[in-house]
Structure 1
């Protein structure tokens, strides 16, 4: 039997439409609950939704991103369907296609729709071209920017989702970076509220900024770190690992000794994995990886040399004559590195960069 679904509906001042949307979603097969996120409404949206049978949670910070993060966290089931609150008539039989499209290896199902009042300029002129250039594995989607989708939140660090207009894209990119598939099904014709040009201008600016911020993070570049001890891994590559995990990328640490401190610090990241040092030679990148970056301590076993994607190997410092020729800014990962150092009882000194030597690769 398919896993149960939590439907989340972000809503701000949608009292006119919310009851019909809630009732329709509650009647769908496999929907175990409907959660409405009342995003600082002043028209009684929350009370209308509650009377229609929804569980209502409040989010006082305005914006789609805040509402989505609140709703995903409040959901009682890992499979979460996000639905708009301002929908006009829609065919629930077609919505059921999203549930039916769940399959082994699929982590997200996008609902592709058409609206006679929405020419989808953001999708045609910005989102689709950006995906084709930056994330070609997602370049074939017809409606990548749709806000109606079903996903497995267990795959991603959903508390790290960013953006308002960009939050739906962030969900998709994180699922893709985790190695899961993104499917798409047609859910027919849906009528939304009309959008004014100012709405599209604000959306375009945020979406462009989001894509520019994702480019240097290497979301589909999988990171493997090979080290003899936990202290070595944290000291030399702790912030690099943390930064990758925060962005949604997959990180695997092959370790000779220890690991409990990093497991505790990185516990909230589903894309984190730790394995014995002996397993490094057989590492296989995930299905969506376009590159494998290996950071290894001196004398570490080889890894990734037979991978089906390009591999670049960086060496950690290990000798007095070490000459660093590349570096990674500690940036967003600095705090988690500091936490790991403190757990290990090591000085939590801050260095702006972690440095490595490029040892080879393709």
Structure 2
């Protein structure tokens, strides 16, 4: 199985949950504390590498970390999100633990509980700790209420904002993680949208120095902005395409698919001939996204959305092209699946040409997927790889002519 094709074995295979683990430690000017973090984490069961991401330190963090046995990765772009993204990409194992570089007062041996909490269907384990000096106002008054309103499946977490966690990095598109300190939440939401479960593990107690309320002021604005942008991207809505040809998908909706995948959403494309030359172009355009899958059309009858999906958008050929199997299958999905679903019709025929009877009523911005679509169109050698920054669809309204 190719890694980019979504499959239940990604999160349920026993070998995966027993696999070795990489540790990623973002660090800036942490030469004083980094050695103990490296040595303690390296000694935990199943840990086979510790990566320290040096984020423009002005002290000896990098050399001290290397001398302590860590693999040092340099990330020049400032920001915790940029640092952990670089570390996650550099890791050699799918399962990764992210920890901070200043945890010298923590009993880090308890972090092994996150490794032990891996289980079939679980893609992320958040570490929970108790701090008698920190009432966690950010978590209690912003993060948890936001999750309950926007992502109710995560509303029961006790420490969703924890920056100490273990996760299966193969589940998400790592290069798309945000660069701010909302990155830990971005990992959480992307794993959730992938369909994998989120667990928590008690990792003990720490007593930080009391924090001034101003510590949370700028963080609150960043986190709130992150949640609002993520809400607009609707990453728990799942897209399913039922098409006659890959050319039809590339010309009619590839921009929308890529934009959704970059945000963290799930996309499944069912094709008549996924092994065609155009099918290979489509596969290569989507293969960098772990939440994308391309399947033979005959597999559509067995499709099931993720438990975390809030609704389905079913995209099918326009019936006026004479290709009605897509709409029939979409209607069957609407009836059989226990999730809200709409049906959108493509504006092009199987050869990728605009159809005369199409009546657009939905236009979607594809700016985040435009470059990928243009590259795919160029590979189809159609003589014109230009693509507009919007794709249009027609909402299917049953008329009784589909049998």
CA distance in 1, matches of 2:315, 2:73: 44
> 267, 275, 300: which one pairs with 2:295?
275
Partner of residue 187 from structure 1, selected from 194, 203, 219 = 203
Pairing 1:150-169 to 2, within 5 Å after superposition: 150-169=166-185
Check conservation: 1:290, 1:309, Cα contact below 8 A: yes
In the other structure, the counterpart of 1:342 is 378
User: What is the aligned residue count?
Assistant: 361
Aligned residue in 2 for 1:327? 363
Tell me whether 1:310 sits opposite 2:340 in the alignment: yes
CA offsets, 1:112-140, max 9 Å, x none? 11223322121111111111000101111
- Equivalence for 2:12: none
Name the residue aligned to 2:91: 75
1:293 and 1:138 map into 2 onto residues whose CA distance is 22
When residues 74 and 193 of structure 1 are mapped into structure 2, their CA distance, relative to the original with a 3 A threshold, is farther
CA distance in structure 2 between the partners assigned to 1:30 and 1:281 by the alignment: 40
Give the CA deviation at 1:155.
Answer: 0.7
Q: CA deviation at 1:165?
A: 1.2
8 A Cα contact 2:40 2:109, kept in partner: no
On the 8 A contact 1:223/1:250 being kept in 2, the answer is: yes
The superposition leaves residues 4-25 of structure 1 with CA deviations (integer Å, 9 ceiling, x where unpaired) of 0100100101112111111111
Q: Decide which structure has greater strand share.
A: 1
- Partner residue, 1:290: 310
| Aligned CA distance change for structure 1 residues 228 and 219 (closer, same or farther; 3 Å) | same
2:285 equivalent among 256, 265, 283:
265
Question: In the alignment, is residue 236 of structure 1 matched against residue 236 of structure 2?
Answer: no
Is 2:136 the partner of 1:136?
A: no
Confirm whether residue 359 of structure 1 aligns to residue 396 of structure 2. yes
> In the alignment, which residue of structure 1 is the partner of 2:11?
none
Q: How does 1:174-253 map to 2 (within 5 A)?
A: 174-192=190-208, 195-253=211-269
Query: SS where residue 154 of structure 1 aligns?
Result: helix
Shift of residue 92 of structure 1?
3.5
Deviation at 1:193, TM superposition (A): 6.0
SS at match of 1:164: coil
The farther-off stretch of 119-128 and 86-95 is: 86-95
Computed over aligned residues only, the root mean square deviation of the Cα atoms, in angstroms, reads 1.6
Specify which of 127, 135, 140 is matched with residue 111 of structure 1.
127
Which whole-Å CA distance do the structure 2 matches of 1:255 and 1:279 have between them?
Answer: 9
* Residue range with higher mean Cα deviation, 32-41 or 339-348: 339-348
Other structure's SS at 1:117 match: coil
**Residue range with higher mean Cα deviation, 301-310 or 235-244:** 301-310
CA distance in 2, matches of 1:67, 1:92: 21
- Report the 3-state secondary structure (helix = DSSP H, G, I; strand = E; otherwise coil) of the residue aligned with 1:3: coil
Tell me which stretches of 4 or more aligned residues in structure 1 moved more than 6 Å.
Answer: none
**CA displacement 1:283-328 (0-9 Å, x = unmatched):** 2101211111101113124132211211111111254232111121
Residues 41 and 109 in structure 2, CA contact (< 8 A), matched pair in contact too: no
Check conservation: 1:72, 1:158, Cα contact below 8 A: yes
Structure 2: 5+ residue stretches without partners:
1-14, 319-323, 349-354, 399-403
Is contact 2:94–2:169 with CA below 8 Å preserved after alignment? Answer: yes
Equivalent in the alignment of 1:66 = 82
Q: 1:87·1:192 contact (CA, 8 Å) conserved in 2?
A: no
- Cα offset, 1:282, TM superposition: 2.7
